[in-house]
Structure 1
């Protein structure tokens, strides 16, 4: 009723002589805080839409991998961008990242990294100027393999989903759910593929897995592997550090993993695969969603019924079907729950970096 009354007043008072325009404007100053894994890709996917929308950008690279952002800054200068449009500020997250998150002149924060730090950034936004925040955070993504899958293909797909980039990927398919009819065969073949993985100097063309990023990450991975053994998971292969120089971890496979184990619940961010047995669709949907995260997910099956049933029920921003890590600029990327909010890529990517303004104009009729 109130809306109807307002409409009647509008028609009577203005005689319908109104034009409304929606204007899309840049946010302003956008701070982009990127992680150390795949730093060039992480920067490209954020700076592109931010600049295209007309904003200025401040990049805070991870302290472990600052050189790539600085090199891109040199290319920006060579391309003769206007001064001040693209900026790089190096430093530690607790100091530099915190300062950007709290700064009253920063209008937008985009952060890719851990859930714990994402919460701090959101809190800082609330304490300062309520700046817009986009967060792509952690994950513990399920990859579900059904009985009707080709076992050999599924083994290699699941291997890729876990071990790419040395396991240091937010949406890695680190929880491999396998239906009971093919479980034993899948575990055996997965252990064989992992054991054959070549680990070593990344400058060697035969190497497919290099070191972890630093000693801190190495120790975290080894501690979680140890917890898996202590909690009763079966270590099929790997589980140890390689040598005493560099931060190399053996490709590791666990079977007989329970949902309550730390290796099944915490983001390991390393070359560690958990293979978990399931019986039914309803069961695997419930167990897939039994996590604080919701970034990626996958399903391997020949059944369209399985595909659509699982895809609609899983709480994740992306569902890969008979593939993994296929990302295109045309499709949105982001997470549910504590994997963050907002979307990168896709048709609405620019809107993460813009404001909408409504301009309503009364057209004056000289004869009235």
Structure 2
């Protein structure tokens, strides 16, 4: 296919966006209220989408409940569920360009990343869980000779999945695919900033042959639709990715309703440690720059704290600054763009507020820190690097969720580990060293759900993803994700 800048612009003009929720296998216009979806690339309204209130959430949960309690999906042979998920993966592949374009328009991701990274991840996710659907095994523990014990895994029920705007489809896939593979039914609520790609995913699920009510998608904001889903007594499991503050709300919702299980993947302030014996300091610097500026820095695992040994700090930081100053920031629909627009104007203002606080707090601004391309109407920020950052400052402590890197120097490994762990978060960490013993020992000491050694953001669907401390609980990806959407049942038979 033609993936030139001109072809994406033409596709964007011809693209027709969904306007209603996807409930019980069909479009549901809702009760009349709607909201605007605005593109951060130019500040223009893309479309208006039905706004879910309590009534629409009730409809979606009721459809999922019927499909679980009375429909065929939980009772299908697991291999048949797998076949349906394979069909859905194939349809996603067929509609890859439209899905990529939609999410690029709604949240500002460069089209090359949307098409080449996020859509590839979504297809791979559905294919992985499609193949895993019939690979789960039950247990028959050895017991007394006059008894037979069975431990079986059963689908947990109706799953509410609430996902953010930064990876609208990847994170939806990480929750929807294993839940469906396990035999659950789902109500997906995307962010109100990026609902369009998720609504398209719901339509494709029906086209792929998912029974009505198995995959429902409602568009609405967190305080209304998200809260209604969190409090709903018809929801058995709630899976959420987003901020730590909102994660706390979902725990309260569970306590105030039916004690539904709540699985949280929350914020991060991830350290990236560069030791002087790193096998390739240039690669370490290039990866540090890529990691913080990829997806406009709007990534929970972004290596936003660069910890560099004093003996190599100047070399590494100078290389990161040089890369930041050559990074192409611009229209997300230009395939040459490396960093697009921040998701919305108000988010850009929050990031700029952090930058101002960094300057006032005495950190040294090495590059960036200013809004750019304002004439487009879009929300663009120059890649930003601070060094000489105070460890107790906002730059060091708070998740900025933007292309802002804070640099810290250290002199010993123990100091690096102490600084790395000195955060309320524990989602991810990076470590650069050529010493095998150091790699093992430091990795064990870092309080993070994922540690990357001599790389960053690497891995595949075979490994779990999730955090420690206030970065959440439970795991996405891998076979372990199925544990969130199944219940263990013991059956004891006296012979």
TM-score range, shorter chain: over 0.9
Q: 1:16: how far off?
A: 4.6
How far apart, CA to CA, are the structure 2 residues paired with 1:243 and 1:319? Answer: 36
Paired position in structure 1 for 2:159: 30
- Residue aligned with 1:225, SS: helix
Matches within 5 A, 1:1-368: 16-149=145-278, 150-244=280-374, 245-363=377-495
Q: Tell me the C-alpha RMSD between the 2 structures.
A: 1.2
Once the two structures are superposed, residues 259-295 of structure 1 have per-residue CA deviations (whole angstroms, 9 ceiling, x without a partner) of 1111111001101111110111111111111100000
Cα distance, 1:74–1:282 mapped onto 2, change above 3 Å: same
Q: 1:15: how far off?
A: 8.0
Q: 1:57: how far off?
A: 0.4
Once the two structures are superposed, residues 242-264 of structure 1 have per-residue CA deviations (whole angstroms, 9 ceiling, x without a partner) of 13221000100111112111111
Q: 1:351: how far off?
A: 1.1
How far apart, CA to CA, are the structure 2 residues paired with 1:278 and 1:152? Answer: 19
How far apart, CA to CA, are the structure 1 residues paired with 2:339 and 2:480? Answer: 35
Q: Which ranges in structure 1 are unaligned for 5 or more consecutive residues?
A: 1-13, 364-368
**Farther off after superposition, 75-84 or 315-324:** 75-84
8 Å CA contact 2:384–2:405 kept in 1: the answer is yes
8 Å CA contact 2:239–2:262 kept in 1: the answer is yes
Once the two structures are superposed, residues 306-337 of structure 1 have per-residue CA deviations (whole angstroms, 9 ceiling, x without a partner) of 21121000000000011111131111100000
- Residue aligned with 2:227, SS: helix
Paired position in structure 2 for 1:7: none
Please, what TM-score do these two structures have when normalized by structure 2?
0.70
Greater fraction helix: 2
How far apart, CA to CA, are the structure 1 residues paired with 2:208 and 2:178? Answer: 18
Paired position in structure 2 for 1:9: none
The structure with the larger Rg is 1
- Residue aligned with 2:426, SS: coil
Across the two proteins, how many residue pairs are aligned to each other? Answer: 350
8 Å CA contact 2:368–2:383 kept in 1: the answer is yes
Please, what TM-score do these two structures have when normalized by structure 1?
0.93
Q: Which ranges in structure 2 are unaligned for 5 or more consecutive residues?
A: 1-142
Q: 1:204: how far off?
A: 1.5
